[in-house]
Amino acid sequence: MDLYLFAYGRDYRQALKDFYQLTGNTPQLPRFALGNWWSRYYDYSDESYLALMDKFTDKKVPLSVSVIDMDWHKVSEVPSRFGSGWTGYSWNKKLFPNPKNFIDELHQRKLKVTLNDHPADGIRAFEDVYPQVAQILDLNTELEEAAKFDFDNPKFREAYFEAVHGPLENEGVDFWWIDWQQGAISKSGVDPLWLLNHYQYQKAQEKQKNNIILSRYAGPGSHRYPLGFSGDSVISWASLDFQPYFTSTASNIGYTWWSHDIGGHMQGYKDAELSLRWLQFGVFSPINRLHSSKSEFTSKEPWHFDSVIEQSMIEFLQLRHQLIPYLYSANFMTAFKGKALIEPIYYEYPLEEEAYNHRNQYNFGDQLMVAPITKKMNSNLQMGNVEVWFPEGIWYDFFTGQRYDGNVSLKVYREITEIPVFAKAGAIIPLDKNPLKKEEIPSEIIWKIFPGDDGEYTLLEDENETKVEVIKEVFKITSKQETSRKHTIVYGGKEIISGKIGNFSIDLKGEKGQFDWDFATSLFRRLDIAEIDYEEKDQILQKLSLIKDYDKQVAYIKTIENAELEDSLFELLYSGK
């Protein structure tokens, strides 16, 4: 046996490029995969499911994918002689009397549809399509002989794809959630999951270019069959805390498109803070698929929480769809350049020790850096925190414009409705101005520009490329194809121009390249929400308002006995110095 060692030192991106050269690239995803997914293990009816989708619309929550879990097919109705109802391919007509009409209704709502498939038990005699399967495989129908799952057998694959999946796809199913029950080995000695992923993904391409499957990871090389389903997650802070690290480091084996059970699937207990923090991470993860178990109490609809949590969830779900132009460009970069949407920060800063010490901090595309809060907040301060390493340069909070000078690690504090996301000076982010329209090609783009340095960005689309650059405070936009798209320019948090069409330039030198964030307002807010003694609040506010020297301000907060409060105030002082 020959062994080969490919050594790259700390040039991780080059190592992955060569890995892809040997194993094949990650395929491009369809645009719909990058929006919000609704998934729940629950026995919906067609009426209740469509009513739920309409309520999401009424609440201004954009969705792009409807996941119909296993109760779409017969489960409890399966006669006991056939075993369990986990595997099934016949619609439950009590819940879905007219499946095609149901799927048509979802398509009219601009939703793609996937059905859950646990294929391990094969095709049994109670299935509606059993006669066709029996004919293909020459089964003994009098003995109700089952078609055992065997993807090594070309005839079984023919029955599975043509007689079983084919009619369901003709009714409108767009792609499949392959929920393989692990354990068996095929006759050829290959893990059946490998065979399933390979053949199912190839079949999906016949239905739509760049179509997907949702399936489990089968080992190195699985990146060729996106997307990845990471399994049933326990509802806990520990589960959330693991997922950012797990997701970013999966890029080390080239597996970049993970779909987690956002919010957690099972067990645990209700924790509104955890649910919102998990959703925040979901918005800044590869695939945002909300999911939960059959419990009446674990569902993830925003309106199941208090009004503050509900509104924040809605705004983050809208933000996910605003980000689709940015995500789709990153999707191109993954497919054609081997650069993942989510990378550990040590890919960009391989020689910096701090880059390896901040496990849950990651690059999100080539313009943003994310550090999700994955631990419960300090109840006294009413804020969560995470330690963030800011590499050299000037960094801004993506939402508020709070500024951080780089080459430092410090605790960053955020309210329950906020997630730490940062853009470096010169970053340019494209956002869909009308996320609720769910347009295939956005008709209006907001260009969010972070001042302080030159920058450039290329928006990649199937039929077009749009290059935006800011050089010496001059904004320039150039599209390869002429379009009627309208552009809005936001520079340092200020809208400069709106509704501009075509290629153009704007001189930004006369504009105030500075965000509205200020120390005094932020100080008051943090003290106001903190559940600490009123007299202590007044004293801190008075002292920090009167002391103007930064070093003296820092010396003063070191006298505060509450260490978390001291760290929170230091973050503000550091940004405001």
Residue-wise DSSP of 139-185? --TTTT--B---TT-HHHHHIIIIIIIHHHHHTT--EEEE-------
| Distance, CA of 154 to chain centre | 36
| Distance, CA of 231 to chain centre | 15
At 3 the pLDDT is 86
Final residue in a domain of this structure, among 196, 229, 262: 229
| In a shared domain, residues 90 and 207 | yes
At 183 the pLDDT is 64
Identify the DSSP state of 395: E
Final residue in a domain of this structure, among 213, 229, 245: 229
Query: 242-263, pLDDT tens digit by residue?
Result: 999 999 999 999 999 999 999 9
- The three-point CA angle 335-430-323 to 5° equals 70
At 123 the pLDDT is 96
Q: CATH code at 441?
A: 2.60.40.1180
At 182 the pLDDT is 65
Helices of type H across 59-116 = 99-108
| In a shared domain, residues 547 and 499 | no
**Domain assignment of residue 170, yes or no:** yes
**Domain assignment of residue 482, yes or no:** yes
Question: Total structural domains in the chain?
Answer: 3
| In a shared domain, residues 497 and 533 | no
| In a shared domain, residues 488 and 562 | no
At 510 the pLDDT is 82
| In a shared domain, residues 128 and 222 | yes
Closest CA to 162 of 209, 203, 113, 102: 203
For residue 555, give its domain range: 518-576
| In a shared domain, residues 50 and 189 | yes
Query: 541-555, pLDDT tens digit by residue?
Result: 999 999 999 999 999
Cα-flanking dihedrals φ and ψ of residue 525, to 5°? -60, -45
**Domain assignment of residue 308, yes or no:** no
**Domain assignment of residue 375, yes or no:** no
Cα-flanking dihedrals φ and ψ of residue 295, to 5°? -55, 145
| In a shared domain, residues 218 and 146 | yes
At 6 the pLDDT is 83
How big is the chain by its Cα radius of gyration, in Å?
26
Q: Distance between CA atoms of 435 and 66, rounded to whole angstroms?
A: 17
**Domain assignment of residue 362, yes or no:** no
| In a shared domain, residues 96 and 206 | yes
Contacts of 549 (CB under 8 A, 6+ apart): none
| In a shared domain, residues 522 and 482 | no
| In a shared domain, residues 124 and 205 | yes
At 275 the pLDDT is 97
Final residue in a domain of this structure, among 485, 507, 529: 507
| In a shared domain, residues 503 and 523 | no
At 280 the pLDDT is 98
At 189 the pLDDT is 81
| In a shared domain, residues 116 and 217 | yes
At 190 the pLDDT is 84
Q: CATH code at 163?
A: 3.20.20.80
**Domain assignment of residue 464, yes or no:** yes
Contacts of 273 (CB under 8 A, 6+ apart): 376, 377, 384, 416
Q: Distance between CA atoms of 91 and 428, rounded to whole angstroms?
A: 48
Mark the ranges of the chain whose per-residue pLDDT is less than 70.
Answer: 181-184
